[in-house]
Structure 1
């Protein structure tokens, strides 16, 4: 753990660094396929949670809220797997990261920002076309579309970082 800033890491920083770099669960994200699966699963769980949350908001039924609660635990596990794969790149404070990690985090955030901008433009286009063609009322679509874009904006850096993680270098065996 190296510091890039002038402030020394706190006890909380050291603990979070240890948690994010704990290798006991590394089998869950050891290969690119497993990391992609974790990101895809996280995205699917997020989409299902959004549908359930919007369903609970839009209807008088309670069951979508229970579906949302049931999805919460696997969603948290998938989030932990991605955070473990990225070694806490987005969760750790800057003072705990080295210069390479800070630069990587900046690249991830920039790429996620561009993707979220495209998503926002697409969402605007869908709502506008739906309203102009008379197929949907823009007011009806506003809350679900805004909720979806907001969640994507918050999670896109995590997904981009999870998909961009490189495999760990293989350990060389000693010849002795």
Structure 2
């Protein structure tokens, strides 16, 4: 942390929260982080689909599905925030130069991915519209999905690009022995 003595109480508490050691075994290796990101993606897709079922489909049972997915989604989000050490949640003054550069890289990568996703969304909704099909509900659903993806993609990219911490799950073996 760059300027620990000048941090507000809020910044200090968020820094402490994002750097806790609980759940470290769930995020200590790349395969585990990939699994958590995959679970988070699946939970997000389920939650958004249930929400769209409530709004567009007028299905009341999907409300219970959303409530059931909320707690595991929050836990997975916490694990990902812990894996990135709060890279996307902490204010810039709390981060050092390396962390700010990592955050910028994650956001830039997410931005490039999001540009391709938006291009695909425009093409799909355009094809549907030019085919003469009613695209109003489709455009709303695509826009909601794009908004959620835009919000969460930097977290997923950052969690997938985090490097393993030195010394974790590595035996102390001399490589020339």
TM over 0.5: yes
1:1-176 correspondence runs (5 A)? 1-3=1-3, 8-134=6-132, 136-170=133-167
Which contiguous aligned blocks of 4+ residues in structure 1 show a shift greater than 4 angstroms?
none
Name the SS for the 1:27 alignment partner.
helix
Question: In structure 2, what is the Cα distance between the partners aligned to 1:154 and 1:33?
Answer: 23
Q: CA RMSD in A?
A: 1.7
**8 A contact 1:8–1:95 mirrored in 2:** no
**8 A contact 2:18–2:82 mirrored in 1:** yes
Question: In structure 1, what is the Cα distance between the partners aligned to 2:106 and 2:3?
Answer: 20
**8 A contact 1:13–1:96 mirrored in 2:** yes
Note the alpha carbon deviations across 1:60-112, whole angstroms, 9 max, x for none: 32111111111111000000000000000000111110010011111111111
Q: In structure 1, what is the equivalent of residue 175 of structure 2?
A: none
TM-score normalised to structure 1 length? 0.91
Name the SS for the 1:14 alignment partner.
helix
Structure 2 unaligned regions, length at least 5: 173-177
Question: In structure 2, what is the Cα distance between the partners aligned to 1:118 and 1:125?
Answer: 11
Note the alpha carbon deviations across 1:13-71, whole angstroms, 9 max, x for none: 11111111111210010110110001011011000111100000112321111111111
Question: In structure 1, what is the Cα distance between the partners aligned to 2:52 and 2:147?
Answer: 13
TM-score normalised to structure 2 length? 0.91
- Between the two proteins, the alignment pairs up a number of residues equal to 170
Note the alpha carbon deviations across 1:99-146, whole angstroms, 9 max, x for none: 100111111111111111111111111111122223x42212111000
Name the SS for the 1:127 alignment partner.
helix
Structure 1 unaligned regions, length at least 5: none
